[in-house]
Chain A
Amino acid sequence: MPVSTHLGSQLVDLCSVLLLLCCFAIVAQRRLSACVDLFALQSVFLAATAALVAFLTGHRHIYFAAALTIVIKVIVLPRILRKVIERLNVSRELVMNVNVPAGLLICGALVIVSFFITQPIIPLGYLLTRDSLAIALAIVLIGFFTMIARKKAVTQMVGFLVMENGVFLGATAAAYGMPLIVELGVFFDVLVAGLIVGIYTHRLQDAFDSVDTSTLTVLKE
């Protein structure tokens, strides 16, 4: 393996690990605005990874994806979420389904599970990003876990977006990115999801005086 490729692979791995660290930070964070900031930071790392892959492999369209990541996930979405937080006047996640230490432990377990699951797949790959696959899966699972563990609708949205980041990283890692048209579609979806959550939390606040999704239990039959 040439040195540059080896170095590139190391760099991609480093970026992936930083993405994963952001996940842990989000799980450990109680302040909503900090969660959003951490998500934005994670998206920066994601964009960096994508750009790195684009540079190393010469797949030009991944640059485009990286740019879109910067615009939508680093600038637009965090802005929407901050506005929601500001308007609803909710700054802290006071009650959680799972407390922080337990949550971190579970996340650790999820990382192990992810590596265990992807172990038979990774040696089969030939891409320089192949080691990131396990990390991508871990990020997806942690994002999912965040949605379960947190009660406020805003954090659930952050969890969803983290999941999406994981999927994006996975796609980059497993196949050097998706076709451009698919990537555009995904970004559009994410943007719409962000807008919907903005409206949804607002309605929730109107109806229940809270953005705690547990209040939705009264809707069951």
Chain B
Amino acid sequence: MTTLLTVLLACYLFGGLAPLCLPRRSNLQNLLAHGCAAAGGVVGLALGVVGLLAADPLTGSLSSNIPYLVFALRLDALAAFFVLTISLVGLAASIYALGYMAEFSGRLSLAAIGSLLNGFLLSMTLVVLADNGFFFLILWEMMSLLSYALVVTEYEQPGVREAGLFYLIMTHVGTAFIILTFLILFQETGSFSFEGFRHPDQRLPEGLRSLAFFTALVGFGAKAGIVPLHVWLPYAHPAAPSHVSALMSGVMIKTAVYALIRVYFDFLGGQFPWWWGFTILVVGSVSALLGVMYALMEHDLKSLLAFHSVENIGIILLGIGAGMIFHTYGLHELAALGLLAGLYHTINHAAFKALLFMGAGSVLFVTHTRNIEEYGGLLRRMPWTGACFLIGAWSIAALPPTNGFVSEWLVFQSLFLSFQLPTLFLKLMLPIAAAMLALTGALALACFAKAFGMSFLAQPRSTHARHAREVPMSMRIGMGLLAGACVLLGLAPMLVVPLLDRITGSLTGVAIGAKVLALDGWVVAPVTVEFSSISMPVLAALLVGVGLLGLLLARMIGKPLRMRYYKTWGCGLNLTPRMEYTATGFVQPIKRVFGTIYRPTVKLETEFLEQSKYFIKHQRFEFHIEPLFEKYLYKPVVAFLLAMADRLRIIQAGSLHLYLAYIFVTLVLLLLWAV
């Protein structure tokens, strides 16, 4: 294990430093940087699996001259699982980047981008391995700064710079709260090591523990993108190069999930009040629902995907929240189930979200636009990308038999099992959360019907789309890898659940793997078999079988299929792509139904010919939805800060004499005070 870890770190370090030393041969730099990152991904996958199967955690540390700072690493089941997730996406993204970087060749330094990517992967891997609060914070900041540098890759565009600044501010506000959390824990335990934090014989007072719960939620929530701290996400994630977006949306926000589980179940574990879990549940369901609702209205493909990350983080939190509530009431098996569902969705989301971002990147690569309205008919021109994107869309919409379905189903099950809780209030609230999740699922399906249908089907709506070609092989391999992972994770819960069970087992103290998997793993039955169960392989076989049966029946009973190609009748007019159903049109009914939340504004400007009002020369349609949180939460805060800054500006007169006078007065006062 130690060797694997060393090789992993060496791969990323070498990939980070070597391209910078090479002469200006961008192809070679590209190959070296992303080759090393891919090698690191392979080693990381191995390390993750070994770490999950190992009986004891691997630990190692290196002391430093700075007090409390110890470079300590610890690979336990939870960390190993996240290393596995990060490496899976990292591997696919690095292979994908080999081809995708052609986009930037000649314009920007490929060596710099490649080495930043290696550093980013390294810092993410180390964040989940860190075993010391101080060290964790350093790595956390490193991760944030490196990802910021990657977000502003295309810094010459003002929008990108703004998105980067926004991200930087939000992530640092989050870090401030994380520091508070660690300081609270430090105050009580006198140590920054994680071992000290989880020391069971020094219990914190109730109030302080709740404060730590809250600061951790805000601090890590800002990175995870929970509502209302999600506002930076739809700006920053799309601004980065696509393989970086895939990493940020797929795995970087998952490090926050890791940290939340670590803090709540590991450090503050044992017994906690019921409202902690309830808060997580509320935050989760609100994030899930609002995330998908805003995604629906988004016509920038990458922003749409970024909003879906908000949704999926919500779903993960629903599982974790349910687990926390069950944990409070001593229902350890159900707690383990909720946590397991959340973790399962974590790796699933990493796989399909990264896949979708890469798919969007491929489309962007050939069309140079992110606007869905300018796509159309891409499936015929890019069949591989289209197929991969379809698998991703299928998974994120939680349709069987893909991975999204399994984990969402598990989340549902853990929410429905609330009837075992003692209090009526929670018995009622958990099913309500489940209902919100159901609505989320339905809207997600609508959203991806839009995203896939408008992009890949029908006729091209722009010249870019008309001239689209399939992307290079390495990009197809990167996407194919994740598409395969999506299918595998969906069809084989019997491989995944035992691994996840080792994590939840170590955190909650009970192993449920054997109970969840009935009949040698062919059936997934959460805890109580009588309640509900499902078998993914059988379900998949059924779906395929029914499809084939239908075809067979049609062949046998129906007349032989005869196809005649002819033009669609268009009322005597020639059909053009302008007559196609648009994405805006597609979401119109949903916009109406949820008008109170969206608060849409529609602007229609019509210009007539001079001769008559019946002939329209030019017409312009615009519609916007109101950014609720930005307008009512962030704007006032920013306005307040600016007003305060304006007041303070009086002391900045620009006068040399005044500045000297400040120093002078301070000096004299300090001297007098010293006497």
Contacts and interface: CB of A to CB of B under 8 A. Distances in A.
Nearest to A219: B654
Interface string B126-147: 0000000000000000000000
Contact of B654 (A117, A149, A151, A218): A218
Interface in B649-675: 652-657, 660-661, 663-664, 667-668, 671-672, 674-675
A220 B654 contact: yes
Interface string A151-195: 100001000000000000000000000000000000000000000
Contact of A141 (B652, B655, B660, B668): B668
B55 to A, nearest CB: 62
Contact of A117 (B653, B655, B660, B672): B672
A208 interface: no
Contact of B671 (A117, A218, A219): A117
Contacts of A213: 656-657
A133 interface: no
Contacts of A141: 664, 667-668
Interface residues of B, number: 16
Contacts of B674: 117
Contacts of A145: 664
Contact of B675 (A97, A120, A221): A120
A65 to B, nearest CB: 26
Interface in B112-162: none
Contacts of B663: 144
A21 interface: no
A147 interface: yes
Interface in A133-150: 141, 144-145, 147-149
A151 B655 CA distance: 10
A170 to B, nearest CB: 13
Judged by DSSP, the binding face of A is helix
B652 A220 contact: yes
A148 B657 contact: yes
Contact of B668 (A113, A120, A151, A216): A113
Given A113-B672, A116-B675, A144 B667 contact: yes
A120 to B, nearest CB: 6
Contacts of A151: 657
Contacts of A216: 654-656
Interface string B635-655: 000000000000000001111
Given A216-B654, A217-B653, A144 B660 contact: yes
Contacts of A117: 671-672, 674-675
Interface string A58-92: 00000000000000000000000000000000000
A77 to B, nearest CB: 21
A156 B657 CA distance: 10
A57 interface: no
A116 B663 CA distance: 20
A214 interface: yes
Contacts of B660: 144, 147-148
Interface string A195-221: 000000000000000000110111111
Nearest to B665: A148
Nearest to B649: A221
Nearest to A120: B675
Nearest to A147: B660
A52 B397 CA distance: 92
Interface in A80-128: 97, 110, 113, 116-117, 119-120
Contacts of A156: 656
A214 to B, nearest CB: 6
Contacts of B667: 141, 144
A214 B664 contact: no
Interface string B45-71: 000000000000000000000000000
B675 A148 contact: no
A149 B656 CA distance: 11
B672 A148 contact: no
A213 B668 CA distance: 24
A113 B674 CA distance: 12
A55 to B, nearest CB: 32
A110 B671 CA distance: 12
A214 B675 contact: no
B668 A214 contact: no
A6 B119 CA distance: 71
Closest 9 A/B residue pairs (Cβ): A220-B654, A217-B654, A213-B656, A148-B660, A148-B661, A117-B671, A148-B657, A144-B664, A217-B655
18 contacts: A113-B672, A117-B671, A117-B674, A120-B675, A144-B660, A144-B664, A148-B661, A148-B664, A149-B657, A151-B657, A156-B656, A213-B656, A214-B655, A217-B653, A217-B654, A218-B654, A220-B654, A221-B652
Interface of A: 97, 110, 113, 116-117, 119-120, 141, 144-145, 147-149, 151, 156, 213-214, 216-221
Interface of B: 652-657, 660-661, 663-664, 667-668, 671-672, 674-675
Given A116-B672, A151-B657, 15 more contacts: A97-B657, A116-B675, A117-B671, A117-B672, A117-B674, A119-B675, A120-B675, A141-B667, A141-B668, A144-B660, A144-B663, A148-B661, A156-B656, A214-B655, A214-B656
